[in-house]
């Protein structure tokens, strides 16, 4: 099997102003020396207003941490008040763009069609989309979670070529596990991530499916990350709350790298 380098992505959501962002990145860098980055990719995903400050620290100190954006417009430029173009993000050195996070699907009514358009925009501007999918509690309790996630994945990637799909990262985030402290079991995460890989093989091809990184997200912390990333089809984590604590985020990144602890 092709080996996939783990990715630990810290989604800060709407937390930390630009001064707090600088302090967090500096603390994270101090806790996570360069030796780890051969074995794990670590990215921080701040609010848009922090990105320039984060870029300045990372470039100035030649850090190996990358950074992403929490969303990207489906449009390139023009009369779209409040939106942020992928072209602007690329110019700021952004590597990843989260698309279709459940908070955007829920609070901003983003459908699979919108997520697909944003995924295409990210790819067009050479950003790596982190395409989020995940079921709510009712669907999980009804036992329909595998079918639901596969359908959401297919809707969010509909019509993309295998080459484009190979440039994405997928994040499985069960909505009931986000910010609740109720993490999915490692077996539950593996079940859905394996089904996602199977679906990628169907819509692209085996080599593409084997190369795409699939993250788990939802109440990941330093205590549970080891078991989660130890699963065959879980290639890292999309971390919310624990990414706001630089020591814990460094520790869980080191665990994903296979240790030693910082």
Q: Which stretch binds ligand G3H (CB under 6 A): 14-22, 188-196, 214-222, 251-259?
A: 214-222
With binding defined as CB under 6 A, does residue 40 bind ligand G3H?
no
- Whether 135 sits among the annotated catalytic residues: the reply is no
Using CB under 6 A, which of 219, 224, 231, 253 touches ligand G3H? 219
- Number of residues forming the site for ligand G3H (CB under 6 A): 14
State yes or no: 176 annotated in a binding site: no
Q: Report the chain's C-alpha Rg in angstroms.
A: 17
- Whether 147 sits among the annotated catalytic residues: the reply is no
With binding defined as CB under 6 A, does residue 239 bind ligand G3H?
yes
Mark 97-136 with x for binding to ligand G3H (rule: CB under 6 A) and - for no binding.
Answer: ----x-----------------------------------
**C-beta closer to ligand G3H: residue 101 or 120:** 101
* Nearest residue to ligand G3H, by Cβ distance, number only: 240
Q: Which stretch binds ligand G3H (CB under 6 A): 79-87, 116-124, 215-223, 249-257?
A: 215-223
With binding defined as CB under 6 A, does residue 182 bind ligand G3H?
no
Active-site position among 103, 110, 135, 173: 173
Using CB under 6 A, which of 204, 240, 250, 256 touches ligand G3H? 240
What per-residue string of b and e applies to 35-70 under the rule 16 or more CB within 10 Å gives b?
A: ebbeebbbbbbbbeebbebbeebbeeeebbbbbbbb
CA–CA dist 244, 212 (Å, integer): 26
As given in the structure block, the two tokens for residue 160 are 């993309």
Q: Which stretch binds ligand G3H (CB under 6 A): 52-60, 111-119, 197-205, 218-226?
A: 218-226
State the residues that interact with ligand G3H by CB under 6 A.
11, 101, 173, 178-179, 217-220, 238-242
């Amino acid at each position: 099997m092709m080996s996939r380098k783990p990715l630990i992505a810290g989604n800060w959501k709407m937390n930390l102003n630009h001064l707090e962002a600088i302090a967090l990145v500096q603390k994270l860098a101090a806790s996570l020396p360069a030796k780890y980055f051969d074995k794990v990719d670590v990215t921080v995903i701040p609010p848009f207003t922090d990105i320039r400050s984060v870029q300045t620290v990372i470039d100035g100190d030649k850090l190996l941490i990358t950074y992403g954006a929490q969303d990207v417009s489906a449009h390139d430029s023009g009369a779209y008040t409040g939106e942020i173009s992928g072209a602007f993000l690329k110019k700021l050195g952004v590597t990843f763009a989260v698309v279709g996070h459940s908070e955007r699907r829920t609070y901003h009514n983003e459908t699979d069609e919108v997520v697909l358009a944003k995924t295409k925009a990210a790819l067009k501007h050479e950003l790596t989309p982190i395409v989020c999918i995940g079921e709510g509690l009712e669907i999980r309790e009804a036992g329909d979670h595998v079918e639901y996630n596969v359908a959401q994945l297919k809707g969010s990637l509909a019509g993309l070529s295998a080459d484009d799909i190979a440039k994405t990262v997928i994040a499985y985030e069960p909505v009931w596990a986000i910010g609740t402290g109720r993490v999915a079991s490692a077996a539950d995460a593996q079940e859905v991530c394996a089904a996602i890989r199977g679906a990628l093989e169907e819509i692209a091809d085996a080599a593409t499916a084997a190369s795409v990184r699939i993250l788990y997200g939802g109440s990941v912390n330093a205590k549970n990350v080891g078991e989660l990333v130890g699963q065959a089809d879980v290639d890292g984590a999309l971390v919310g709350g624990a990414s706001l604590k630089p020591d814990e985020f460094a520790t869980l990144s080191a665990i994903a790298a296979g240790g030693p602890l910082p």
